[in-house]
Structure 1
Amino acid sequence: MILADKIAELRKKNGWSQEELAGQLGVSRQSVSKWESASSIPDLDKILKMSEIFGVSTDYLLKDSDGPDEEAITYAAPDTIPDADSSGDIRTVSLEEANTFMDITQDMAAKVAAGVSLCILSPILMILLGGLSDEEGGYILPEALAVAAGFTVLLVMVAAAVSIFIWYARKTERFEYLEKEPIELAYGVTGVVEKRKKGYEPSHGISLVIGVVLCILSAVPVFVLGVLDEEGMLAIFGVIFCLVIVSAGAFFLVRTCVIFGSFQKLLEEGDYSRDKKLADKRNEIITTVYWCIVTAVYLGWSFHTMEWHRTWIIWPSAAVLFAAVLGVSEAYHKKRK
C-alpha cells in the first residue's frame, strides 16, 4: 500500500470527505484529490500534520507497507538514497516525470504496434497482384503494372509506419536517459510505478499469450493452402493470410511490450537494469567497431562476387558471433574486478 492509498483509506475510516480533510490541513480539495490519486506527493509538514490527525505514525504513512515500522523515521526518501558505489551524478525522476512518461507510452503503444503491423502487411498487395498477373492469361493487370502498383502501396504503408515511429521517438525523446543512464526515483514514485505495473500484469500476460499463439498459427494457412494448390492462387492466399495473422500477433506483442517496458525502465528491471546499462556503456565502442567491420566485409564480399543472394548469411552469423564477443568482454571485465 502506497501513501496515496493510505491517505484515502484513513480519510474514509474517519468518515471525512476530501473537503473536510482539506479544511483540517489548510489545503484545497484538489490537493487532497491529487494526493489520493498519486498525481502528487504532499509536503513533509502536511505528512506530519496528517499523522497527528489520523493518529498514526509518520513511519506508517511514509513507508510503502501495510503496517507501521518500529524503526526511527528518516525523512529522506528511501528511493533517492544512492548506493555506496554510485558516482553521485545519478538522475532523479520525479512523480510528475514518471506519470508523464507512463501516460505518453500507454497512449502511443497502440500506434507503434499499428506501425509494425503496417510494415508486415505492406507487401500483401504486391504479392496478390503479382500472383494474379502470373496466372495463365494474366488476370486484371500485366506483370509490370502489378509490380508498380504493389510496390507503390508498399512504400506508402512503410512511410506511414515510419512517420508513426518518428512521432513516438519525438514524444519520448526527453526520456531517453531512462534507457541509458542509472536513475533514482523520488520518494513515493516506486510505489506508484509498481502499483500500475501490478495492475497491468494480467493484461500483459493475456496479450503475450494471444500474440505468441497467433504467430504460431500463422503457418497454418501457408501449409494447408500450399498443399491444396502448390503453385496456384491458393498458395498465394496462404502467404497473404499468414502475413495478416502475423501482423495481428505482432500488434498484441508490440503494444504490451511497449507499455510493460515503460514500467521496467522506471524500476530498472529486465533489459533496463542498472548492470545492463553499465554493460552497454562499456561495450559501446566494441559494438560500433564490430558492426562497421561486419558491414564493410558484407559490402566488399557482395560487390566482389555479386552473389547477394548468398552473402546475406553474414548477418545472422555476425549476430551469433556478436553475442559471443560481448560475453568475452563481460567475462574479462568481471575478471578485472
Structure 2
Amino acid sequence: MILAEKVQALRKKNNWSQEELAEQLNISRQSVSKWESGASIPDIDKIIAMSSLFGVSTDYLLKDELEKEVPSEVEDVYEAPLTRNVSVEEADGSLGLVRRLAGRMAAAAALCVLSPVPLIVLGALSEYGEEAGGHSALAIGEDMAGGLGMTILLILVAVAVAIFILCDMQMEKYEYLEKEKLALQYGVEGIVRKKKEDFAARYRMCIVAGVTLCIIGVVPMMMAVAFSAGDLIMIYSVALLLSLVAVAAFLFVWAGSIQDSFDKLLQEGDFTLEKKELKKKTSFFPGAYWCVVTAVFLVIGFRSDDWVWASLVWPVAALLFVALLGVVKCVARGRIKQDL
C-alpha cells in the first residue's frame, strides 16, 4: 500500500473529510486531494504531523511494504502550528484583491452617508418650493417628498449593503490575515514594506483631504447660524455637509483599506498580535451599534416628521462611536489580562 492510499484510508477511518483533515494540518483541501491522488507527496513536517494525528508511525506512512498499522510512539495529539506561513503568491493575491475592491467599498460607504440627502432636499422643496425657485413648479407634496425620499434612501442603503456583502465574500479566503499569527516567507516582508512606502504619500494625502472636507462642510452651517439665514439655507447647508462628508468617507475607506492590506501582512498598526486578539473580543460592537443608530434615525424621523434634523443623528453617532468603541476596547483589554 503506497502513501496516497494510506492517507486516504486513515482519513476515512477517522470519518474526516478532506477539508477537515486539511484544517487540522493547516493546509488547503487541494493539498490533501493531491496527496491522496498521488499527484504530490507531503513534506516531512506534514508526515510527522499525520503520524501523530492518526496515531501511526512515520515508518508505516513512508514504507510501502508495511501493510499493518504501526502505532506511533508519540502519544500527544497533534496541534496545528500557531503560525501561518504566507507565501509571495498569497501576499500578492491579497494585496491585489484589496486594490480591486477598495474603490467599491469606498463608494458603498459614501452611498450610506449620501442616502439622507435626497430626502432632505425633497423635504425642503415640499415646504419651501416657491421660495427655492421663485415659482410653484418646484414645490411638491409633502407625502410625495417623504415617500420618494425614503424610497431613494432605502435603495442607496440597499446597494451599499449589497456591495459590502459581495466584497466581504470575496475577501473570505484571506480572512486568516486578520486573525492568525503570520510568518512571511523569505522576501515577502521586503516586497510588502516597499509597496507600503510607495503608497504612504497617497495615503497621507487622502487622510488630510478627508479631514479638511469634514471641517469645511461645517462652515456653511455655522455661517447660516451667524447671519440668521432662513430654514431653507440651513437645510441646504446640512445637505452640503453630508455630501462633503460622503466624499471624505470615500477617501478614508479607499486609502484605509489599502493601508490595512499592508498592515495585515506586516502585523503592524491595528493588526499587531495584541490587537488581533482585542478585535476578536470587540467584533460584535460595530454591527450592533450601527443597527441601533439606524433604528434611532428612523424613529426620530417618523415621529417628528422632520428628516432634516433626524439626519443629524449620523454625525453625532459617528463621534459617539469612537468614544464608545474606546470604552469597549478598554473592557476587553481588562478581560484579556484576566484570562492571562
TM range (shorter): 0.5 to 0.7
Q: What secondary structure, in the 3-state scheme, does the structure 1 residue paired with 2:186 have?
A: coil
- Distance in 1 (alpha carbons) for counterparts of 2:337 and 2:162: 40
The alpha-carbon distance between structure 1 residues 324 and 276, as it changes in their structure 2 partners (threshold 3 A), is closer
Does the 8 Å contact 2:129/2:140 carry over to 1?
no
Give distance in 1, aligned partners of 2:96 and 2:183. 19
1:89 is aligned to 2:82: yes
Look up the equivalent residue of 1:97 and give its one-letter code. E
- Cross-structure match for 1:119: 112
Post-superposition offset of 1:229: 5.1
Distance 1:116 1:233, change over 3 A: same
Determine the structure 2 residue equivalent to 1:220.
Answer: 219
State the partner residue of 1:332.
338
Aligned to 2:126: 133
Q: Distance in 2 between matches of 1:213 and 1:249?
A: 8
Counterparts in 2 of 1:188 and 1:321: CA distance versus 1, 3 Å = closer
Provide TM-score, normalisation by structure 2: 0.60
Q: Are the aligned partners of 1:98 and 1:189 in contact in 2 as well (CA < 8 Å)?
A: yes
Out of 313-322 and 104-113, give the one that drifted further.
Answer: 313-322
| Counterparts of residues 44-193 of structure 1 (less than 5 Å) | 88-135=81-128, 139-193=138-192
Letter in 2 for 1:322: V
Provide the rounded CA distance (Å) in 1 between the counterparts of 2:101 and 2:164: 10
Distance 1:322 1:125 in 2: 34
- Contact 1:226 1:234 survives alignment (8 Å): no
Separation (CA, whole Å) in 2 of partners of 1:192 and 1:136: 58
Cα distance in 1, alignment partners of residues 217 and 246 from structure 2: 9
Alpha-carbon distance between aligned partners in 1 of 2:91 and 2:255, rounded to the nearest angstrom: 18
Contact 2:106 2:253 in 1 (8 A): yes
Could you tell me which runs of 5 or more consecutive residues in structure 1 were left unpaired when the two chains were aligned. Answer: 1-85
Percent identity between the aligned chains?
Answer: 32
1:225–1:167 CA distance, 2 compared to 1 (3 A): same
Is residue 204 of structure 1 aligned with residue 210 of structure 2? no
CA distance in 2, matches of 1:103, 1:332: 39
Contact 1:133 1:142 in 2 (8 A): yes
> Deviation per CA, 1:261-305, whole angstroms, max 9, x where unpaired?
000000111111112223445x479x68xx89xx9xx99xx9xxx
Which ranges of structure 2 fall in alignment gaps of 5 or more residues? 1-78, 131-135, 304-309
Q: 1:172 & 1:136 partners in 2: Cα distance? A: 46
* 2-structure distance, mates of 1:159, 1:278: 32
Structure 1 length-normalised TM: 0.61
Q: CA deviation at 1:245?
A: 0.9
The Cα of 1:129 is off from its aligned counterpart by 1.1
Please state how far the C-alpha of 1:191 moved relative to its aligned partner.
0.9
Contact 1:226–1:238 (Cα < 8 Å) also in 2: no
Separation in 2, partners of 1:120, 1:249: 10
